[in-house]
């Protein structure tokens, strides 16, 4: 998988992709992440990539010209299945969406900033809009990192245990069950006996029951219409 991220603030993403699982995935050649400075495509002598909105109003709007040039430059080099704009009014990101997108090869992620981007970008250059939640951030860099992380961890070989991603929260529509590690006894607190039994079927049954119970308590909307 290759992800190209276009942003006016590339330094915000440097550390995120150079640590932990994402760093190892890139080092092993399992995923590519390339961050592109939008200002490099600006013809303004001050490398500005925004301007005042027509009609007046507070805030600045990302200009169409540098965005168009950046996307066109990348598309001239390879085919991209999706050109995604990270936007608070996009489709809400969830695990089924991530699962579907993880099968794609090349993606462009455009990070919004200021008061958004010239609407013509969204009308003519963007193929998909994604939101990570019903709130507004200062820019699309964090959402782009979130989406990239969710996608890359599903690439075969990225996680040490190939079954790990399959047991994550939301993969089966439920939140994850409780997890425990050593020591078995810590003061008066003990690990549930079923986890120490070695009985795989009973452990899986317990974990499923715990997932359903936790989902009912914490995220009941996930159970709507689900055969429990």
Question: Could you tell me how many helices (H) and strands (E) the chain has, helices first?
Answer: 7, 9
Across the range 40-69, mean pLDDT stands at: 95
Q: For the domain 169-223, what is the CATH code? A: 1.10.1270.20
Distance, CA of 111 to CA of 38 (rounded, Å): 10
Q: In this prediction, what percent of the chain has a pLDDT beyond 70?
A: 93
Q: Does residue 20 have a pLDDT over 90? A: no
Contact at 8 Å (CB) between 90 and 83?
no
Of the candidates 36, 35, 25, the one whose C-alpha atom is nearest the C-alpha of residue 1 is 25
2-152 fold: Alpha/beta knot (3.40.1280)
Give pLDDT, residue 103. Answer: 94
Q: Look at the block and give the residue holding tokens 């995220």.
A: 219
Q: Does residue 50 have a pLDDT over 80? A: yes
Give pLDDT, residue 164. Answer: 54
- Band (pLDDT 50/70/90 cuts) for residue 34 is very high
Give pLDDT, residue 115. Answer: 86
Domain range list for the chain? 2-152, 169-223
């Amino acid at each position: 998988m290759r992800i190209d991220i276009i942003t006016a603030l590339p330094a915000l993403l440097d550390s995120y992709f150079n640590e932990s699982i994402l760093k190892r995935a890139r080092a092993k050649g399992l995923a590519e992440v390339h961050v592109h400075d939008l200002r490099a495509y600006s013809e303004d002598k001050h490398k500005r990539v925004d301007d005042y909105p027509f009609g007046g109003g507070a805030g600045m709007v990302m200009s169409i010209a540098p965005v168009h040039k950046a996307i066109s430059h990348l598309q001239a080099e390879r085919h991209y299945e999706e050109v995604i704009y990270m936007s608070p009014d996009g489709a809400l990101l969830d695990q089924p969406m991530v699962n579907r997108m993880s099968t794609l090869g090349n993606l462009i992620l455009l990070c919004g900033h200021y008061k958004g981007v010239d609407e013509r970008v969204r009308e003519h250059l963007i193929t998909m809009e994604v939101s990570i939640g019903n709130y507004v951030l200062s820019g699309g860099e964090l959402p782009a990192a979130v989406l990239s992380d969710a996608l890359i961890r599903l690439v075969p070989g990225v996680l040490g245990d190939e079954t790990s991603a399959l047991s994550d929260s939301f993969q089966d529509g439920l939140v994850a069950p409780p997890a425990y590690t050593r020591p078995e006894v810590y003061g008066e607190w003990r690990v549930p006996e079923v986890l120490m039994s070695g009985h795989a079927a009973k452990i899986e049954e317990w974990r499923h029951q715990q997932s359903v119970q936790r989902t009912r308590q914490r995220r009941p909307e996930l159970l709507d219409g689900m055969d429990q």
